[in-house]
């Protein structure tokens, strides 16, 4: 990573009653941090939160990450199923300026390649101010699959992260450059900037 790439602040939120109370180790935050570090060429500042399944607390964390910590991208993991304690989507919608339903639709489509219970997932994505907030699944394997897609499938299934950089362009957030070996960002030709030169000022 170099100064040629715009820095980005990314919020990571793991929603789990048991992990937040220390019953077991949280695996969502490390999985998200690892994937993003591999996928993005930009210098990243991470803001991480491990919180219980409480709607007001989740909404408060999302507001704080966007409004105070100035995160331009916020990814949550956990709390998106039909169980009574799963309230991440409700908490996310409560802080939204705009809803971006295509993200949730594509995540469920990807997961349906593996399990029929994918239709039980309720992930949503929203825009708040100049930030994109996306609910991701709880399992590290599912997180990577939904972000990267299934490039080896016939036909290939695009992951949701391919659309994230252009979405951030449109809302005035930093220009994200991806490592195409992990995920290839899609932008219209008119939106593509010249490749950054490592070490350039």
d(CA 56, CA 62): 10
d(CA 86, CA 54): 9
DSSP code of residue 68: I
d(CA 150, CA 140): 15
Residue 83 has pLDDT above 80, yes or no: yes
What is the mean pLDDT of the segment spanning 46-75? Answer: 97
Cis upstream peptide for 128 (omega within 30°):
no
pLDDT of the residue at 3: 55
How far, CA to CA in Å, does 16 sit from each of 21, 29, 52, 85? 8, 11, 5, 9
Quick check: is 1 in a domain? Answer: no
Structure tokens at 130: 């100049």
Which residue range is the domain that position 173 belongs to? 8-191
- pLDDT confidence band for 153 (50 / 70 / 90): confident
Quick check: is 196 in a domain? Answer: no
Quick check: is 170 in a domain? Answer: yes
Q: Which residues contact 35 (CB under 8 A, 6 or more apart)?
A: 143, 144, 147, 182
Look up the CATH number of the domain holding residue 169: 3.40.980.10
Structure tokens at 24: 């077991």
Chain segment 115-152, per-residue pLDDT in tens = 999 999 999 999 999 999 999 998 999 999 999 999 88
Quick check: is 197 in a domain? Answer: no
pTM (two decimals)? 0.94
Strand-pairing partners, residue 135, are 76
Quick check: is 95 in a domain? Answer: yes
Domains in the chain: how many in total?
Answer: 1
């Amino acid at each position: 990573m170099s100064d040629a790439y715009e820095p980005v602040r990314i919020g990571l939120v793991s929603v789990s009653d048991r992990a937040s109370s220390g019953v077991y180790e949280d695996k969502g935050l490390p999985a998200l941090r690892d994937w993003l570090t591999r996928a993005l060429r930009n210098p990243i500042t991470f803001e991480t939160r491990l919180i219980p399944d409480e709607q007001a607390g989740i909404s408060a964390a999302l507001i704080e990450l966007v409004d105070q910590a100035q995160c331009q991208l916020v990814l949550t993991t956990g709390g998106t199923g039909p169980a009574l304690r799963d309230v991440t989507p409700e908490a996310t919608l409560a802080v939204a300026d705009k809803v971006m339903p295509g993200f949730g639709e594509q995540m469920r489509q990807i997961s349906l390649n593996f399990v029929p219970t994918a239709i039980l997932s309720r992930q949503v994505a929203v825009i708040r101010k100049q930030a994109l907030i996306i609910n991701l699944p709880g399992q590290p394997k599912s997180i990577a699959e939904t972000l990267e897609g299934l490039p080896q499938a016939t036909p290939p299934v695009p992951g949701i992260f391919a659309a994230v950089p252009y979405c951030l362009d449109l809302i005035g957030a930093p220009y994200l450059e991806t490592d195409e070996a992990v995920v290839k960002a899609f932008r219209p030709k008119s939106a593509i900037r010249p490749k950054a030169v490592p070490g350039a000022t």
